Amino acid sequence: MKKARRESERLLERFLAEIGEDPRREGLRKTPQRVAEMYDVLTSGYRQDPRKILNDAVFNEKYSEMVIVRDIDFFSLCEHHLIPFFGRCHIAYIPNGRIVGLSKLPRLVEVFARRLQVQERMTQQIAETLDELLHPQGVAVVMEARHLCMIMRGVQKLNSVATTSAMLGVFRDDARTRTEFLKLINRPEA
């Protein structure tokens, strides 16, 4: 890891020089190190297995009504520009004999958010992982995010929000279940 980190720092120093900066000036001397450390954190999801995060907190339970955790804040990096996007994720599932510890749902979001991403894929990955491990009656994931690649460059629209969804099982097949979920996540905070 140390060798890879040194190489990253060297490349970042070269990048600073390429854009016309002096990487030796006082304000930039430690920038390559700081940026390399930052990217280690922002890409830590590659070093985590989402299945392992959930597995120690899956319990047999006869509960069969909708479980929702909403307003899960996240930050991720757009794989096209390496610029952040950030927002909130809402997750629901209807158990089929198995539940997961509620705190594991935000952790699952974090694992996938800490990778180079597109919002569409991340939404699907969260839903499919829950579906695979819990075998619930259905899973729903809705993500709302602001993309700095749209705000800082390109169209430069400050108030644009991208919304993506993944609906599996009864959330896909039953309009009433899907509507109930969407109403519940759009309620004012308690």
- As annotated, the active-site residues are 78-81, 119, 147, 149
Length of the chain: 190
Whole-angstrom distance, CA of residue 134 vs CA of residue 41: 28
List 146's β-bridge partners, or say none: 86
> CA–CA distance from 181 to each of 21, 48, 136, 138, 171 (Å)?
51, 29, 15, 11, 8
Evaluated on CA atoms 16, 21, 22, 26, the torsion sign reads negative
List 75's β-bridge partners, or say none: 86
Contact status, residue 145 vs residue 123, Cβ threshold 8 Å = no
